[in-house]
Amino acid sequence: MATTKAYESPDGLLRFLVVRNEDSDVSLGFDRHVWHTHGDMLAATYRLPKEAAIDRFIDDLLGNRIVIAVSRREGIVVDIWATDDPEGDLRYKSENESIEYRHWDGSPAA
Protein backbone atom coordinates (compact mmCIF):
# COMPACT_ATOMS: atom_id res chain seq x y z
CA MET A 1 0.00 0.00 0.00
CA ALA A 2 1.29 3.46 -0.90
CA THR A 3 1.77 6.05 1.79
CA THR A 4 1.58 9.78 1.17
CA LYS A 5 2.95 12.68 3.15
CA ALA A 6 1.65 16.13 2.24
CA TYR A 7 3.13 19.57 2.87
CA GLU A 8 1.10 22.75 2.42
CA SER A 9 2.75 26.10 1.76
CA PRO A 10 2.11 28.90 4.27
CA ASP A 11 -0.07 30.79 1.74
CA GLY A 12 -2.09 27.66 0.93
CA LEU A 13 -1.34 27.77 -2.82
CA LEU A 14 1.02 24.80 -2.93
CA ARG A 15 0.51 21.24 -1.77
CA PHE A 16 3.57 19.04 -2.16
CA LEU A 17 3.22 15.26 -1.97
CA VAL A 18 5.74 12.54 -1.21
CA VAL A 19 4.32 9.18 -2.26
CA ARG A 20 6.07 5.98 -1.20
CA ASN A 21 4.93 2.94 -3.16
CA GLU A 22 5.14 -0.71 -2.13
CA ASP A 23 7.92 -1.32 -4.67
CA SER A 24 10.13 1.24 -2.82
CA ASP A 25 9.64 3.87 -5.53
CA VAL A 26 9.23 7.37 -4.13
CA SER A 27 7.65 10.11 -6.24
CA LEU A 28 7.55 13.75 -5.22
CA GLY A 29 5.44 16.44 -6.85
CA PHE A 30 2.78 19.10 -6.53
CA ASP A 31 -0.76 17.87 -5.95
CA ARG A 32 -2.89 17.77 -9.13
CA HIS A 33 -0.01 18.82 -11.41
CA VAL A 34 2.06 16.82 -13.89
CA TRP A 35 5.61 17.67 -12.83
CA HIS A 36 7.20 15.22 -10.42
CA THR A 37 10.53 13.62 -9.64
CA HIS A 38 11.63 10.32 -8.12
CA GLY A 39 13.93 9.38 -5.28
CA ASP A 40 16.42 7.65 -7.57
CA MET A 41 16.64 10.74 -9.78
CA LEU A 42 17.28 12.92 -6.74
CA ALA A 43 19.97 10.48 -5.57
CA ALA A 44 21.77 10.93 -8.89
CA THR A 45 21.36 14.72 -8.79
CA TYR A 46 22.53 15.17 -5.21
CA ARG A 47 24.98 12.25 -5.33
CA LEU A 48 23.55 10.93 -2.10
CA PRO A 49 21.77 7.73 -1.08
CA LYS A 50 18.11 7.84 -2.11
CA GLU A 51 16.60 8.57 1.32
CA ALA A 52 19.18 11.27 2.07
CA ALA A 53 18.54 12.86 -1.33
CA ILE A 54 14.77 12.85 -0.75
CA ASP A 55 15.24 14.48 2.66
CA ARG A 56 17.61 17.06 1.15
CA PHE A 57 15.17 17.96 -1.64
CA ILE A 58 12.30 18.40 0.83
CA ASP A 59 14.52 20.49 3.13
CA ASP A 60 15.63 22.62 0.18
CA LEU A 61 12.05 23.07 -1.02
CA LEU A 62 10.62 23.98 2.39
CA GLY A 63 13.70 26.07 3.18
CA ASN A 64 13.16 28.32 0.12
CA ARG A 65 16.30 27.11 -1.67
CA ILE A 66 14.37 25.75 -4.67
CA VAL A 67 12.64 27.98 -7.20
CA ILE A 68 9.04 27.03 -7.90
CA ALA A 69 7.35 27.99 -11.17
CA VAL A 70 3.61 28.62 -11.13
CA SER A 71 2.03 28.81 -14.58
CA ARG A 72 -1.32 30.57 -15.00
CA ARG A 73 -3.69 31.11 -17.88
CA GLU A 74 -6.32 33.78 -17.37
CA GLY A 75 -5.42 33.82 -13.68
CA ILE A 76 -5.98 30.09 -13.18
CA VAL A 77 -3.08 27.89 -12.06
CA VAL A 78 -2.46 25.29 -14.76
CA ASP A 79 0.92 23.87 -13.71
CA ILE A 80 3.48 23.99 -10.91
CA TRP A 81 7.04 22.68 -11.01
CA ALA A 82 10.44 23.01 -9.38
CA THR A 83 12.98 24.62 -11.68
CA ASP A 84 16.67 25.28 -11.79
CA ASP A 85 16.38 27.14 -15.12
CA PRO A 86 13.75 29.90 -14.98
CA GLU A 87 15.20 31.61 -18.09
CA GLY A 88 14.97 28.34 -20.01
CA ASP A 89 11.38 27.78 -18.90
CA LEU A 90 10.35 30.95 -20.69
CA ARG A 91 11.13 29.33 -24.06
CA TYR A 92 8.06 27.12 -23.61
CA LYS A 93 5.69 29.79 -22.31
CA SER A 94 2.63 30.31 -24.48
CA GLU A 95 1.35 33.77 -25.40
CA ASN A 96 -1.61 33.63 -23.00
CA GLU A 97 0.40 32.22 -20.09
CA SER A 98 2.14 33.91 -17.18
CA ILE A 99 4.80 32.26 -15.05
CA GLU A 100 5.47 33.34 -11.49
CA TYR A 101 8.77 32.29 -9.88
CA ARG A 102 8.49 31.97 -6.15
CA HIS A 103 9.69 30.12 -3.10
CA TRP A 104 7.76 27.81 -0.80
CA ASP A 105 6.92 30.62 1.63
CA GLY A 106 5.43 32.73 -1.19
CA SER A 107 8.32 35.14 -1.51
CA PRO A 108 9.35 36.00 -5.08
CA ALA A 109 12.35 34.19 -6.52
CA ALA A 110 14.97 36.44 -8.07
Quick: pLDDT tens for 28-49: 999 999 999 999 999 999 999 9
Share of the chain above pLDDT 70, in %: 100
The pTM of the full predicted model, rounded to 2 decimals, is 0.92
Q: Give residue 108's pLDDT.
A: 97
Contact yes or no for 39/26 (Cβ under 8 A): yes
Domain boundaries, the chain: 3-62, 67-102
Provide the mean pLDDT of the chain.
95
Nearest to 66 by CA among 19, 9, 11: 9
Residue 77: burial class (beta carbons within 10 Å; 0-12, 13-18, 19+): middle
